[in-house]
RNA sequence: GGGCGAGUGGCGGAAUGGUAUACGCGCGGGACUCAAAAUCCCGUGUCCGCAAGGGCAUGAGGGUUCGAGUCCCUCCUCGCCCACCA
């Protein structure tokens, strides 16, 4: 059998490596530290996915190469261990999440080991470990003290399926990201992180990092900065009934601020719309219209976010019976409410300009409100306002003194006019909202706050951390945190007055845990601080971060917020946490569909390792295609890489101490190509290059020992077990990974003869073998001497000749 | 509706503006074998041709260039993301 026994050699080397386990700081004193990181997994009960294998293998290859090049490499692994699946499993079966999670983590570690990943296990962490979440809670307190964490009552997203509130980022298409239940809005008092304070810097920072453009765009859109003017519609008149605070209001002057990015269309306003939830609605609605307004508002409130957005095109509303004054003309404009205006963006009110906004156009037509043109399309552009709104820039018309200006000029001058009239100001708005971090669930880090009857909410003293998650709870979700009914948890005194107090029962969003884990790895066992400043300085920020694109606006944005905040508070000396980011593409099932249990197209890495070996699996996943592309799994493809590995294995029997220039040359070319491809993370073409080399060595009479050893060194980063096995079989006593990365001799990269393509008028008519340093005339003479070339040139005039040295000659004839 | 990608053999895919289809899978033929598996060798875009060779091919159509899968314009299809943000 010309085949190596992976069942024997893989476990053998895994055991040997475990003894001299991989450490970030060790044999290589050279320094130049590199921090390579993959997104840590949630320890799911179903174990490692082939998608994990892809990203971890990719970074493992880079880590091994960089170590061999003399770098100190930090390549850690841990577990994002808090989360809903384990808790939901507990609800169903009664098995405690801690138990489920411990079991899953043990299984993951077994699988990691069976794949030969060179993680530094001395730094392992789990976010569910009190020694870890002590510092998550510490960060919460730090943010609280610095006004970056606060409690507020606000309309929040509520999921009835998960029985908890959700962050904005966890609502997808109006549905819960996790269970797809339609999300409803509730007014609740919750804990928030003030991420909006960093909106501008998070936006600017994106420009400084080496991330996929796609992810950068998504973050820019999510932050959603837009510049405009907040302008006031004052002098709201009419008969007022309503209450503001406890006071009954009869006649008063109110002002409605609206936000617009199109202040150039100010003279086209024909009405103002408030969101149904707008606080002024109660105070402004007249008696005659009250019934209709209240009915409309109740109906809007009952709709889920999903229903409200699905009825996108249908714009309905109610006139509240009152008028406001236009800020510049003083003209009276009617005030409406409609749920096409969002209460939590801008001021919760907009000015209606039907001629130049699609939504206002629909609304105005429905209720026969005036459509007044104030922007004329540029010359040569036809537009019919009877059919649709004109929403592009143009020239101002019907705008009093501003007529004739371009939209850009108009924006500027009207903004200035509004400002000098004291009726408004230029403002910047963001789509980004503060991050809602409290959850009414069990399996997370408790929020380190207490409630005292006399002192109100008080932070736990940092010295009293961690606030340990109690075990005596009932998991069944009730809409309140399961911690509420714990007997042991609430036995606490107020940190301020010493009187009786209760603990905060909500836990933190698990994205809080994962927002800073990369900082903990640099000093993961420290009991005094989350990490020593020297350790942070040595390793951070992360040089290379690899993970899935699904975290674009969640984990990756939150983690950036954390590092900016910690930077400002003096704990880290950098702002951007991840200098270079790459996303691995999805590995699809053999049917080309996303792998899922329900579809039954899930590939289990354990089975592939059993049948083909870990090295073959690693190599195959790297060979499938570009790291960032989605690629379908094809089991028959693995046999190709396994054949390649067997071929390399069998070659060791033909190794000799003699020289063989052709073989050496093939290896040196491969060293160059593979070195460049690993640095560029083009693993598929690196493997292709190694296959080409193996095919060359395969037909070579003999294989010089030094060339073969170099080849084994580079292959070992991809196939560590086989690499180590061959290395020892060749008589070497130490590990192949203690070797230096091979270098190539540039003089060996050039062949004595190269094939030069001969074209006539750009069409290939033959190839000739020439010395690559030949001059143009020699090449042309040889080309012309070729029968087939002569045939096409003959009888024509040679207009010009293009010669690309060593590659191609093109004879242009007429 | 907006934004960003991508369309290359039977399949996964390769190609600093310079020999399109590398590498691998699959398939066909051969060697070895009593036979099979494994392995090895040869072939494999398409059409015409015995061959030499030639025509046509990188979603479609134009353009720039000595030369275009690659650059530019128009269009088609697919994927992903965002989506009443005023």
A30 pLDDT above the threshold of 70: no
What per-residue string of b and e applies to A50-89 under the rule 16 or more CB within 10 Å gives b? bbbbbbbbbbbbbbbbbbbbebbbbbbbbbbbbbbbbbbb
A249 pLDDT above the threshold of 90: no
A427: CB within 7 A of chain B nucleic strand: no
pLDDT tens-digit readout, A437-448: 999 889 999 999
A268: CB within 7 A of chain B nucleic strand: no
Model confidence at A622, pLDDT cuts 50, 70, 90, reads: very high
A796: CB within 7 A of chain B nucleic strand: no
pLDDT of residue A27: 45
pLDDT of residue A52: 93
| A304/A366: higher pLDDT | A366
Do A477 and A229 touch, CB atoms closer than 8 A? no
Question: What is the DSSP pairing of strand A456-459 with strand A449-452?
Answer: antiparallel
Phi-psi region at A636: left, alpha or beta (left = phi > 0; alpha = psi -120 to 50): alpha
Q: Could you give the percent of chain A with pLDDT greater than 70?
A: 95
In sequence order, the β-bridge partners of residue A335 are A272
pLDDT of residue A733: 93
What per-residue string of b and e applies to A647-663 under the rule 16 or more CB within 10 Å gives b? bbbebbeebeeeebeeb
The count of other CB atoms within 10 Å of the CB of residue A785 is: 10
In sign, the C-alpha dihedral spanning A184, A188, A193, A198 is positive
Kindly report the three-state secondary structure assignment for every residue of A354-407.
HHHCHHHHHHHHHCCCCCCCCEECCCCCCCCCCCCCCCCCCEECCCHHHCCCEH
Q: What span, in angstroms and rounded, lies between the C-alpha atoms of A770 and A429? A: 66
Do A601 and A593 touch, CB atoms closer than 8 A? yes
A224 pLDDT above the threshold of 70: yes
Model confidence at A302, pLDDT cuts 50, 70, 90, reads: confident
- What is the CA A91 to C1' B48 distance in angstroms? 72
DSSP strands (E only) in A597-714: 631-632, 655-656, 703-704
Q: What span, in angstroms and rounded, lies between the C-alpha atoms of A646 and A172? A: 48
CA distances A484 to A96, A454, A468, A476, Å, are 17, 20, 14, 12
Which nucleotide's C1' atom has the smallest distance to the CA of A644?
A: B24
Which residue, chain included where needed, has tokens 């060194």?
Answer: A713
At residue A344, the 3 state secondary structure works out as coil
Angle between helix axes A683-699 and A661-679 (nearest 10 degrees) is 170
Which nucleotide's C1' atom has the smallest distance to the CA of A348?
A: B86
| Contacts of residue A438, Cβ cutoff 8 Å, sequence gap at least 6 | A165, A190, A191, A447, A506, A507, A508, A509
A312 pLDDT above the threshold of 60: no
Helix (H) or strand (E) holding A244: strand A242-244
Chain B: positions less than 7 Å from a protein CB are 3-5, 11-16, 18-20, 22-26, 38-41, 53-55, 66-68, 79-86
| A684/A472: higher pLDDT | A684
A329: CB within 7 A of chain B nucleic strand: no
Which nucleotide's C1' atom has the smallest distance to the CA of A340?
A: B84
| A170/A431: higher pLDDT | A431
Kindly report the three-state secondary structure assignment for every residue of A141-165.
HHHHHCCCEEEEEEEEEEECCCCEE
Q: What span, in angstroms and rounded, lies between the C-alpha atoms of A414 and A426? A: 11
pLDDT tens-digit readout, A116-137: 999 999 999 999 999 999 999 9
DSSP 8-state assignment for residue A804? E
Q: What span, in angstroms and rounded, lies between the C-alpha atoms of A692 and A697? A: 9
A278: CB within 7 A of chain B nucleic strand: no
Residue A97 backbone dihedrals phi, psi, to 5 degrees = -55, -35
Do A515 and A562 touch, CB atoms closer than 8 A? yes
Which nucleotide's C1' atom has the smallest distance to the CA of A756?
A: B19
Based on its alpha-carbon atoms, the radius of gyration of chain A, rounded to whole angstroms, reads 34
Question: What is the DSSP pairing of strand A754-760 with strand A808-813?
Answer: parallel
A749: CB within 7 A of chain B nucleic strand: no
Q: What span, in angstroms and rounded, lies between the C-alpha atoms of A257 and A556? A: 34
In sign, the C-alpha dihedral spanning A468, A470, A475, A478 is negative
Q: ipTM value of the model?
A: 0.95
């Amino acid at each position: 059998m010309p085949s190596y026994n992976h069942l024997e050699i893989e476990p053998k080397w895994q055991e040997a490596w475990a003894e001299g386990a991989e450490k970030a700081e060790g044999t290589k004193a050279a320094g130049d530290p590199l921090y390579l990181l993959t997104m840590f997994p949630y320890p799911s009960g179903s174990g490692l996915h082939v998608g994990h294998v892809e990203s971890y293998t990719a970074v493992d290859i880079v880590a091994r190469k960089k170590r061999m090049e003399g770098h100190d490499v930090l390549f850690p692994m841990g577990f994002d261990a808090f989360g809903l699946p384990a808790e939901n499993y507990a609800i169903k079966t009664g098995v405690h999440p801690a138990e489920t999670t411990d079991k899953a983590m043990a299984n993951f570690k077994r699988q990691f080991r069976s794949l030969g990943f060179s993680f530094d296990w001395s730094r392992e962490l789990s976010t569910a470990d009190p020694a870890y979440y002590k510092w998550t809670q510490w960060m919460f307190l730090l943010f609280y003290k610095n006004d970056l964490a606060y409690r507020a009552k606000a309309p929040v997203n509520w999921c009835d399926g998960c029985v908890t509130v959700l962050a904005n980022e966890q609502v997808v298409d109006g549905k819960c990201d996790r269970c797809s239940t339609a999300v409803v809005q509730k007014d609740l008092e919750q804990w928030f992180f003030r991420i909006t304070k960093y909106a501008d810097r998070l936006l600017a920072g994106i420009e400084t990092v080496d991330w996929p453009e796609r992810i950068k765009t998504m973050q820019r859109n999510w932050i959603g900065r837009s510049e405009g003017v907040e302008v006031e519609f004052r002098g709201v008149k009419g008969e007022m009934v309503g209450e503001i605070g406890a006071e009954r209001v009869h006649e008063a002057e109110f002002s409605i601020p609206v936000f617009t990015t199109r202040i150039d269309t100010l003279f086209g306003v024909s009405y103002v719309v408030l969101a149904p939830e707008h606080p002024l609605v109660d105070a402004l609605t007249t008696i005659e219209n009250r019934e209709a307004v209240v009915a409309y508002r109740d109906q809007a409130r009952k709709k889920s976010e999903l229903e409200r957005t699905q009825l996108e095109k249908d714009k309905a509303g109610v006139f509240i019976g009152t008028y406001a004054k236009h800020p510049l003309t003083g003209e009276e404009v009617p005030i409406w409410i409609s749920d096409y205006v969002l209460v939590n963006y801008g001021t919760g009110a907009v000015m209606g300009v039907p001629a130049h906004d699609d939504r206002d156009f629909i609304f105005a037509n429905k209720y026969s409100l005036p459509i007044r043109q104030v922007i004329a399309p540029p010359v040569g552009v036809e537009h019919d306002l009877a059919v649709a709104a004109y929403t592009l820039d143009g020239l101002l018309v019907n705008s009093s003194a501003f007529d004739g200006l371009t939209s850009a000029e108009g924006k500027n001058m009207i903004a200035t006019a509004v400002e000098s009239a004291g009726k408004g100001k230029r403002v910047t708005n963001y789509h980004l909202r503060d991050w809602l971090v409290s959850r009414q669930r069990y399996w997370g880090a408790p929020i380190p706050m207490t409630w005292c009857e006399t002192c109100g909410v008080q932070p736990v003293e940092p010295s009293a951390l961690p606030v340990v998650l109690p075990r005596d709870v009932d998991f069944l979700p009730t809409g309140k945190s399961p911690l509420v009914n714990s007997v042991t948890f609430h036995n606490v005194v107020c940190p301020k007055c010493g009187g009786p107090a209760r603990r905060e029962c909500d836990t933190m969003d698990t994205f809080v845990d994962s927002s800073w884990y990369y900082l903990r790895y640099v000093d993961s066992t420290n009991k005094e601080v989350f990490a020593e400043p020297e350790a942070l300085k040595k390793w951070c920020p992360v040089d290379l971060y690899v993970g899935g694109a699904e975290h674009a606006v969640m984990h990756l944005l939150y983690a950036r917020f954390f590092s900016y905040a910690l930077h400002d508070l003096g704990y880290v000396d950098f702002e951007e946490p991840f200098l270079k980011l790459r996303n691995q593409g999805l590995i699809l099932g053999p049917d080309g569909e996303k792998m899922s249990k329900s579809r039954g197209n899930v590939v289990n890495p354990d089975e592939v390792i059993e049948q083909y070996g870990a090295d073959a699996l690693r190599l195959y996943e790297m060979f499938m295609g570009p790291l960032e592309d989605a690629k379908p799994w094809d089991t028959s493809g693995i046999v190709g890489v396994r054949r390649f590995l067997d071929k390399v294995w069998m070659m060791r029997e033909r190794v000799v101490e003699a020289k063989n220039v052709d073989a050496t040359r093939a290896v040196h070319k491969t060293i160059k190509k593979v070195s460049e491809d690993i640095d560029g993370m083009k693993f598929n073409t690196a493997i292709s290059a190694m296959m080409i080399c193996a095919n060359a060595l395969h037909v070579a009479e003999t294989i010089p020992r030094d060339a073969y050893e170099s080849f084994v060194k580079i292959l070992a980063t991809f196939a560590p077990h086989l690499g180590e096995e061959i290395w020892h079989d060749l008589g070497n006593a130490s590990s192949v990974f203690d070797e230096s990365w091979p270098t190539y001799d540039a003089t060996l990269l050039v062949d004595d003869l190269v094939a030069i393509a001969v074209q006539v008028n750009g069409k290939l008519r033959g190839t000739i073998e020439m010395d690559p340093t030949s001059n143009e005339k020699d090449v042309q003479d040889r080309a012309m001497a070729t029968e087939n070339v002569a045939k096409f040139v003959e009888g024509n005039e040679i207009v010009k000749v293009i010669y690309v040295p060593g590659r191609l000659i093109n004879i242009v004839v007429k």
